Structure 1
Amino acid sequence: MVPVHAAWAFLGLAPLLVLGVPPIWTQPEQVHLSYPGVPGSMVVTWTTFNKTESKVEYGLLGGQLFEMTARGNATLFVDSGEEKRGMYIHRVTLIDLKPAATYVYHCGSDVGWSDVLSFTALNDSTNFSPRFALYGDLGNENPQSLARLQKETQLGMYDAILHIGDFAYDMDEDNARIGDEFMRQIQSIAAYVPYMTCPGNHEAAYNFSNYRNRFSMPGQTESLWYSWNVGSAHIISFSTEVFFYIQYGLELLFKQYEWLKKDLEEANRPENRAVRPWIITMGHRPMYCSDDDQDDCTRLGRKDTKPPAPGLEDLFYRYGVDLELWAHEHTYERLWPVYGDKVYNGSKEQPYVNPKGPVHIITGSAGCRERTDRFNPNPKEWSAFRSTDYGYTRMQVVNKTHIYLEQVSDDQYGRVIDNIWVVKEKHGFSFFFFTLGIDLFLAV
């Protein structure tokens, strides 16, 4: 007869024995995708709490399930909170993917596998018309737009997501458990399409360590700044936070500036701008805004600052950046084409047709515990449309001359409350300078 205490001990192990379910600490979770910038590739990232193999099994939709295998590696990330919690971040790069083909995959190892998931490899044609959802400031608490974004992503409405800073509120809280929970929440989006990011101020704890370790963006800068090409667009992600957290190294600000300059120079080579004429930037804190909180849009480096730091507005203007995407303010705001605090519309009747300055969009109202912000009742003339509704932005780079943007209100059950077409027949600084010069001549 089995002693009672032995029977209880055996029953205590039952959850680990039923159907061979692996212990939770070897189970993959927080699965998300990113595009490494190389055509025909995708990075799969996930977390376990014990060290395991890093393996992705995958195959074409409709073909043999899991007929291909790719292996990667795991990095131990130790959060800097009191508990010094450790977790293993796994990264596997899939290569030689067929453009626009759909793949079924799962990730993990023989001691634990994720759910069966799927993604569509990015089309590498410059005639591809990619569709994006873009937003910032999405938290673990009050993530109001999340359910709608989950459904729309799984309906196949987007080719990529641009999350423009501020995640979880905050990833480091409760010894990084809030970060874990947030990454679980977005898995139903980020495991299906590339989830492309930039850092915000809410990632600053422990020198942005949760952000730098959890995400897998292109380049060798721990996801702080990078660029990638898709369709007819060159997209640049950068850190506005180097202007504000100089205790982590003022040299980062100058290093990023030099990288931006070189990247923009390369994007503006005639042969490159001919095939990818759209240059789009994304950074967390906006250069302009009309929120009534005396916040950072008056302080981000438009011009050179003290301590000495190079401004970004002239740099972006000089290299003909077309569209600048921002978040941080918990609102939506669309600006008229603007440079140097002045409006430079294409024309009075068609302001976004051949605009003479960059177009700015602020989209930071996806939903977080800090709620939405208030607007200044007397905005400057560059403010074109404003909303305090929770929501997010959709963007499609339709072709080399047309981009479409619209704002979705989650408060109004998915209603589109604003939309514009940006139309540019020519791109680059020479176009800005030439059209602006004509206007100044005619004004004399």
Structure 2
Amino acid sequence: MLQFFWMDSKMILLLLIGLAVSIRGETDLKSLIPQQVHLSLSDKPNEVVITWSTMEKTADSFVEFGLTLPGLELQHGNMTYFEECGKKGCRSQYIHRVRLSNLTYGASYMYHVGSSDGGWSPVFSFKTPPSPPALEGGDSAAQWAPRILVLGDMGTLNAKSLPYLQEEVMHQSADGILHVGDFAYDMDWESGALGDEFMRQIEPIAAYVPYMTCPGNHEEKRNFSEYRARFSMPGPYESLMHSFDMGMVHFIALSTEFYYFLEYGIKLPVMQFEWLVEDLKKATTAEARAARPWIVAFGHRPMYCSNGGPADCNHYSSRVRTGIPFLGLLGLENLFYEYGVDLLLWGHQHSYERLWPVYNHEVKNGSIEEPYRNPGAPVHIITGSAGCWEGKSPFVLPAPEWSAFRSTDFGYTRLLFQNVSHLLVEQVSVDKGGQVIDSFWIMKDEHRAYEYSVI
């Protein structure tokens, strides 16, 4: 009976689509077809949010999904109107969001998105985590160890890393992607047309694995309106700051741009700092760290860098590191040090740079032989070389003592979590055809706060 009812429902939808075609005509129907499909994680491990756009308002927002084709079910969502205006006029679209909850762990889902009057997208797929999160006091060593790709500063033009990222996703070599700011160059250009093109470009990867983001300086226009409208990160802050868990890892996404665009008010960096303190407190309780020992934070502008040119990160007291100028408030380095954050990921500089474990410009290696075994401070990685029309960021000579490896090759970074104690980090060079040009292990016998001293 249920199967018969489902087939009737499908027939009704097909009839409605046919009716819509005859009434609207082919040209209008194109503006109702879904595009820019992408996934993001929720605040629950067995939930995903699916987001897409249509150029005109549809009758509804549906995701049809399931483990097998005969068992597909419909989930209804919502849509919001978004308009971007520029020199050549205004351009509008509707952004649809559907949350899929209570998904089966360790399963492969098929899905497509659409409406009763506008047609459907191609069929995509995604995988859920292989096991539920460890219960209080559970064995974190048995937890899922995800494989993450990290990129920053990728434009619609010269997106050098995109085919390599797509190949990794298609070969199921990645469980998620972190984009650490700067998209399209810029998403608001031509009243948002370039943003649409960029979102269509990343659909072949973002529709299959969660595409997790933070804003960069190129998203600043109109108080980050394009970024806030297009992405669906977890939490109540319109994707500007958020955190999420993947197996044994707790990820924290920040907006470093609050420190540089103070015309939007001091309230934003203050609110983020207070939120970050509370998030770190929760993430570093004994129970939380037993279940998710690794803590990784990412934002756009780095605290340190050795690139030339006008960059705040090559100043001794960068804003993200030490806080807002003259006030000396809301700096993040002491906070990450105090709470024992393992890894910090940045973009903004169009290059790759690996730092030795560093705190307040002082190298705190684990030992001479194994600098990343039980390091005495967070490890910083700058990975802003995914590819854009602005080109590459050259380095100064000589390199500072805290800089361990530098490259101006276009490329991206892999985080290959192995277990509770070992993380392999690799840098892929697109210029060298996908060759790994830097590789190192972060090894921790214990995840805890670093030996704290105020300097």
Q: Same fold (TM over 0.5)?
A: yes
Tell me by how many angstroms 1:100 deviates.
2.1
TM (norm. structure 2) is 0.89
State the distance in 2 between where 1:202 and 1:66 align: 43
Please tell me the residue identity of whatever aligns with 2:356. Answer: W
**Take 2:155 and 2:319, find their aligned partners in 1: how far apart are those partners?**
23
Tell me which of 219, 234, 244 is aligned to 1:228. 244
Cα distance in 1 for partners of 2:110, 2:323 equals: 49
Taking the aligned partners of 2:286 and 2:349, their CA distance within structure 1 comes to 36
Unaligned runs of 5+ in 1: 1-15, 438-444
Task: Give the deviation of 1:68 after TM superposition.
Answer: 1.0
| Equivalent residue for 1:419, pick from 436, 439, 442 | 439
Q: 1:81 deviation in Å?
A: 2.3
Aligned with residue 190 of structure 1, among 206, 227, 230: 206
- Distance in 2 (alpha carbons) for counterparts of 1:213 and 1:205: 12
Find the residue that maps to 1:281 and give its secondary structure.
Answer: strand
Q: 1:303 offset after TM fit, Å?
A: 1.6
Per-residue deviation, residues 154-179 of structure 1 (Å, max 9, x unmatched):
11110000000000000000110000
Q: Quote the offset at 1:136 in angstroms.
A: 0.4
Q: Answer yes or no: is 1:86 the counterpart of 2:92.
A: yes
- 2:66 counterpart letter in structure 1: G
Name the aligned partner's letter for residue 145 of structure 2: S
Alignment partners' CA distance in 1, 2:337 and 2:404: 20
- For 1:271-290, what aligned pairs fall within 5 Å after superposition? 271-290=287-306
Within-5 A mapping of 1:386-405: 386-405=406-425
CA deviation map 1:44-91 (0-9, x unaligned): 00000111111000111xx23462110100000111324221110000
C-alpha RMSD over aligned residues: 1.7
Mapping of residues 150-169 of structure 1, within 5 Å: 150-169=166-185
CA distance in 1, matches of 2:320, 2:74: 46
Q: Does 2:323 align with 1:318?
A: no
1:113-150 residue CA offsets vs partner (Å, 9 max, x unmatched): 11111111133345101001101000001001111111
CA distance in 1, matches of 2:103, 2:326: 47
1:74 aligns with 2:94: no
Q: Find the counterpart in structure 1 of residue 39 from structure 2.
A: 33
Match of 1:112 in 2: 119
Task: Structure 2 unaligned segments of length 5 or more: list them.
Answer: 1-20, 135-142
Map of 2:364 onto structure 1: 344
**Which of these residues, 195, 208, 229, is aligned with residue 179 of structure 1?**
195
Contact 1:231 1:397 in 2 (8 A): no
1:301: how far off?
2.7
- CA deviation string 1:163-207 (max 9, x = no partner): 000000000001100000000000001000000000000000111
Corresponding position of 1:58 = 65
Q: 76-85 or 158-167: which moved more?
A: 76-85
Q: What residue number does 2:53 align with?
A: 47
Partners of 1:336 and 1:360 within 8 A in 2: yes
Partners of 2:71 and 2:271 lie apart in 1 by 42
What's the CA shift for 1:307? Answer: 4.8
State whether structure 2 residue 214 is matched by structure 1 residue 206: no
Q: TM-score, normalised by structure 1?
A: 0.91
Report whether the alignment pairs 1:251 with 2:267.
yes
Aligned pairs for 1:353-392 (under 5 A) are 353-392=373-412
Cα deviation for residue 43 of structure 1 reads: 0.5
Q: Is the 8 A contact 2:84 2:192 kept in 1?
A: yes
